[in-house]
Structure 1
Amino acid sequence: MNSYRLYYLDYAGHIHEARTFDCADDAHAQRLAEAQADRRSMELWTGQRLVRAYAHVPDADVDA
């Protein structure tokens, strides 16, 4: 098992919240992270390695 950290980032890119969990591999960790996703940007890390960055999802009702 590997230890992973899922960081939720604010609009300035600063860590707002973090969750830690153990998974067998990166693929399982990514599925778990995606299940916990909300509209914020997120980064999934294991140790010093960035596994994946998830972009902020803008509000659907805001005109561009």
Structure 2
Amino acid sequence: MKISVDEDKCCGAGQCVLLAPEVFDQRDDDGIVVLLDAQPDEGHHAAVREAADVCPAAAIALDESA
């Protein structure tokens, strides 16, 4: 799995950080997503998929073939 984020779409809701804090963080100044691990271990995949699903701005893209 390979993750990419679109910072321009991100609204800073923070659901991704709550669901997968090992993979996502937020900038302190504006709350925009920070991708910590673009290719997380398989143990994090379910949480990352859920984070992408619940992102209100659809700012998280997943490539399952990577």
TM-score (norm 2): 0.32
TM-score (norm 1): 0.33
Instruction: Mark the structure with the bigger radius of gyration.
Output: 1
State the structure with bigger RCO (CA 8 A, min sep 6), 1 or 2. Answer: 2
Please identify which structure carries the higher helix content.
Answer: 2
Please identify which structure carries the higher strand content.
Answer: 1
